[in-house]
Amino acid sequence: MRRHGRGHVAELVLDRPGAMNAVSTEMARCLTAACDALAADRTVRVTVLTSTHARAFCVGADLKERNALTDAELVRQRPTARAAYTGVLELPMPTVAAVHGFALGGGFELALACDLIVADGTAVVGLPEVSVGVIPGGGGTQLLPRRVGAARAAELVFTARRVAAAEAAGLGLVDRLVDEGADRDEALALADRIAANSPVGLRAAKRALRLGHGLDLRAGLEVEDAAWRTVAFSGDRAEGVAAFNEKRTPEWPGA
């Protein structure tokens, strides 16, 4: 885990180069532990999920490891694997994935668990699980339709097809398409821009966006109001208003 800028942007790095970042049981444990640490760190305003591998963000579950597991071992391993994806999904601060190369299966699900996805021209994304006899199990069947709609998600899941960068951007599978090799820099620059804002406001806004999604309008507005109340009387709100009136950059207390 690395820090950038003034220390308010954390970089969560996928680094299992010998397996193109395939998610093994041990890697899942490490990812969960890193997410637990990030979630507890109130100084982190934005997290960027990146990869050290030149040709892959993450190729999904470690199928070599899975092939060696008995049914009983697979049952025991499931909570460990699931916790890794949930850990990224439930990070309380905004998250940005920087994707290049292959982001397939669980790899794409890690990106989908983030709030925003920046991809370069080499990116290839997809949820091919049905082609090996399973289904997306890291949140893909729920997160993908929230991005692209039910029918589009069904087509992508049922066909198991891989989608190249340009089409992925057109379909809304990724949010920003950048030049080859620029995904990490662009994601960090975006994170720096986000991190300039109130940490209390950012976390509350994320909570409202996540919890309100899928609710009817009346219920969603109640979620928004509850989130508003958590920031309305905060030090960040007082500092933000004072800085605006004094025409200066805010110095957020983060509380």
Binning the chain into helix, strand and coil, the percentages to the nearest 5 are 55, 15, 30
Cα–Cα distance, 188 to 116 (Å, whole number): 12
Residue 205's alpha-carbon distances to 4, 142, 227, 228, 246, in angstroms, are 22, 21, 7, 8, 25
Can 111 be counted among the known catalytic residues?
Answer: no
DSSP state at residue 238: H
Question: What does each C-alpha distance from 242 to 60, 208, 255 come to in angstroms?
Answer: 47, 25, 15
* Active-site pick, 60, 106, 138, 201: 106
- Of 89, 78, 26, 27, residue with least CA distance to 52: 27
Q: Is residue 129 flagged as an active site residue?
A: yes
Question: Do residues 18 and 59 lie in contact, with contact meaning Cβ atoms separated by under 8 Å?
Answer: no
Catalytic residue among 105, 109, 138, 227: 109
Query: Which of 10, 28, 56, 61 is an active site residue?
Result: 61
Q: Among residues 101, 123, 129, 208, which one is catalytic?
A: 129
Across 92-103, b (16+ Cβ under 10 Å) vs e yields bbbbbbbbbbbb
Which are the catalytic amino acids? 61, 106, 109, 129
